[in-house]
């Protein structure tokens, strides 16, 4: 399951790009795995270890979140250019979950449903 997110990118020149759409759709997850050679499931496991001060979370990078945000903005027809140009020009990035789980690998029930 994918989440619906509002993604807002404020660029260094002051322009703002905003879209509401699917976040971490299947095509996004495949593109991520191809680009970074990292399993989305492994990324989720590492993210869960953030609360453990002894855990090695060195492979977690802010770039990963920026990549998913960029894919969502592109799908929303925002003129954000290629990914490298985007991360070079973005000043602030905001993600707001509107419904559903943010992480499609999360086994928890969807909001408004009961666990089976």
pTM exceeds 0.85: no
Three-state DSSP at 1 gives coil
The answer to whether residue 112 scores a pLDDT higher than 80 is no
pLDDT digits (tens, 9 = 90+) for 43-100: 877 777 777 777 776 777 888 889 999 999 999 999 999 999 999 999 999 998 887 5
The answer to whether residue 15 scores a pLDDT higher than 90 is yes
Three-state DSSP at 95 gives strand
**Shortest CA distance to 78 belongs to which of 10, 24, 28?**
10
Which pLDDT belongs to residue 110? 38
Helix axes 26-36, 40-48, angle to 10 degrees: 90
- DSSP-derived letter for residue 106 is -
The answer to whether residue 7 scores a pLDDT higher than 90 is yes
38: Cβ contacts below 8 Å, ≥ 6 apart: 32, 59
The residues spanned by each domain of the chain are: 3-99
Give the whole-angstrom CA distance, residue 47 versus residue 57.
8
Specify which residues 18 forms β-bridges with: 8
């Amino acid at each position: 399951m994918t989440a619906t997110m509002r993604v807002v990118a404020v660029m260094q020149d002051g322009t703002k790009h905003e879209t509401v759409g699917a976040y971490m759709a299947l095509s996004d997850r495949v593109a991520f795995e191809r680009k970074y050679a990292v399993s989305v499931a492994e990324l989720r496991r590492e993210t869960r270890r953030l609360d453990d001060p002894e855990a090695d979370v060195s492979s977690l990078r802010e770039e990963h979140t920026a990549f998913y945000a960029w894919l969502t903005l592109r799908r929303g027809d925002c003129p954000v250019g290629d990914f490298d140009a985007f991360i070079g020009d973005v000043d602030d990035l905001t993600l707001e979950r509107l419904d559903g789980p943010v992480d499609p690998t999360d086994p928890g029930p969807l909001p408004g449903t009961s666990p089976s």
